Structure formats: structure tokens, C-alpha cells
Amino acid sequence: MDKEEEELQKAKFFFKLALKSDEVLQKANERLNEKVKGFITISATLVPIVVGLGYYILTQKTANWVFIPFLLSLGSFVLSIIIGVFIQRPTGFRFLNPKKFKRKWNQKPLIFIIYKSASTWSDTVAKNKRVINSKEFWLDAMLGLICLGSAILAVTFLTLGLTM
């Protein structure tokens, strides 16, 4: 294998590596979006339940202290929904524009083009990774809020059950 063929094989390897990394990130982004939708669904289901139970308890019981935990629980679920909607907004996800790339680098040798596309794609993957990591952070926040709201609700019902 001569030096030029070896360089071409190396360039192809880097290109395939960048392409595979992009595919992995795309799948990770899709999975995160599905999880966000699931958390939004959970929170959106719990909001009317908390409102209904809170209204019923408050009309049946004279202790107004119950209003505070119900309000905290409700606020936790609503905040979780708001974060979920915020996460689902269009983000700065990047991609390699083949038309622009071809126009810019068409006159260069094949090895240069493969290296350049692999390098450009790698930069794109790095930027997209930051977008996904940000989504993961906010997804963890959603989960924390759902757990917090559920815990407050459970403690409230436990307290109500013990005081009745």
C-alpha cells in the first residue's frame, strides 16, 4: 500500500468516525425528546388530579394549612411542564450542508475533501453534544420537580390521614 492510498484510507476512517458519532448523537437526541414528552405527559396528568384533590380536601376540611402543600405540589408539576416545553423548542442543532460544502471545496483533492468533511462534521458533533447535554440537565430538573411534587403530595395525604 503506497503512502497516498494509506492517507486516503485514514481520511475515510475519520469520515466514517465522524458520521457514526453524528448518528449516535441524533439517536440520543431522539431518545431525550421522547423522555421529555413522557415527563410532560406525567406532569400534565398530575396537575388536574392535584387541583381536583386539593379542591375537594379544602372544601371538606377547615384546616387551611393544606392549601400550601397542594400549591407547592401543583407549582412543581407546572414548572416541570414549562421546562419540558422549553426543552422541546427548536435548538441550535447543527448539520453539514452538502451544497455549501461542495461549492466551497469542489476544486480540492479527494483526500483534502474527506479530511475537511470529517473535521467539519466533528465540529458539528461537538456543538450538537453541548445541545444534548443541556437537554439532559433540564430533563434531570424535570424529574426532580416531578419527584418533589409527588413527595409533597404524599406527605400531605399522610399528614391528613394521621390528623383525621
Q: Does residue 110 register a pLDDT over 70?
A: yes
| pLDDT, averaged across the chain | 86
d(CA 145, CA 37): 15
Output 10 or 145, whichever has higher pLDDT: 145
Percent of the chain at pLDDT exceeding 90: 32
Task: Say if pTM beats, i.e. exceeds, 0.85.
Answer: no
The per-residue pLDDT for 62 is 62
Q: Does residue 1 register a pLDDT over 80?
A: no
Q: What angle do CA 39, 40, 42 make, to 5 degrees?
A: 60
> Cα Rg for the chain, rounded, in angstroms?
26
d(CA 84, CA 87): 5
Contact status, residue 39 vs residue 139, Cβ threshold 8 Å: yes
The per-residue pLDDT for 22 is 83
pLDDT, tens only, 111-154: 888 888 888 888 888 888 888 888 899 999 999 999 999 999 99
d(CA 128, CA 146): 27
d(CA 22, CA 131): 13
Grid coordinates of 32? 431525550
